[in-house]
Amino acid sequence: MRENRRSFRFHDLDALVGAPSPRKRLFLSDSDFVVVGEVMSAVSRRSAASTARGVTLVELIIWLLVIGILVGGSAALGGQFLRLIVYFPKAVAAHRVAADVLHHIVEGGPSTLGVGSSYGPQIELRGLRHATRLLATEGAVWLAQPGEIGFRTSAGQCIVIRLSGGVIKRSAVLAPSTSPCRTTPRSAEEDIPADGAGDVTMTIPTGRLFRYYNQSGAVVPDGTPYPGTVRRVEITFVAQTGTGVFEDGEARIEKASSVTLRIR
């Protein structure tokens, strides 16, 4: 029986490099194709078996460690996230109250006492930055205590600001330029800010809301300073909710400022 043959024609190496050479033929029989097919099938089965094999004990331990780290980290991050959710609104409230208090002390602001300067529908009291000396016998700052300050503004307002029970309070009166503020009766007090501090309380960890300095930078003793002695006032306080500890979900905002007085 005559065997069927299939031929494939190739250029040999000599032909590729340009050398004159007769062409050669490569012949494969049908049985050769069967052998090649069986080999390819065996290789495919081995590859599939290799792919479908189970994990080793070492690989399993590594995967368990990775999963444990991810789960533990997620729990810690989740706790921090929940703490931030509780902390954030309290921090906003503490920051608002602290900013309002500092602005009222330094610059002044709207008042409900009815003795300030009228700006349209609002009545405002001026702050420490507007303190001025009008009398030879009384300075711009006429009361200097750790938690209380009294000063006269350029608008003729005699103002006292103090810390009481975790709240900043302010009283004021309009006094003639010839009358000392010390002896002029003041109005009722108002809280700063006027709309209330909510759960925010004011504290002074340093023991002093105000610290006073003279022109040379030396500390001025507490009490009734000699006229013209106080030239700069340092303000330090803390606004906080609850304990002020972040781990408890509470907020704590520190504020500090310094005002140089205009003496004329």
Which two structure tokens, joined as six digits, stand for 115?
Answer: 């003795």
Q: What pLDDT, on the 0 to 100 scale, is given for residue 7?
A: 44
SS (H, E, C) 34-97: HHHHHHHHHHHHHHHHHHCCCCCHHHHHHHHHHHHHHHHHHHHHHHHHHHHHHHHHHHHHHHHH
∠ Cα 232 234 240 (to 5°): 160
Q: What pLDDT, on the 0 to 100 scale, is given for residue 3?
A: 47
Which two structure tokens, joined as six digits, stand for 164?
Answer: 């009481």
pTM strictly above 0.75: no
Q: What pLDDT, on the 0 to 100 scale, is given for residue 161?
A: 96
Which two structure tokens, joined as six digits, stand for 128?
Answer: 């420490």
**Mean pLDDT per segment of 10 residues, for the chain of length 264 residues?**
45 45 46 50 54 59 70 59 76 92 94 69 84 86 93 90 93 87 81 82 92 92 82 95 87 94 72
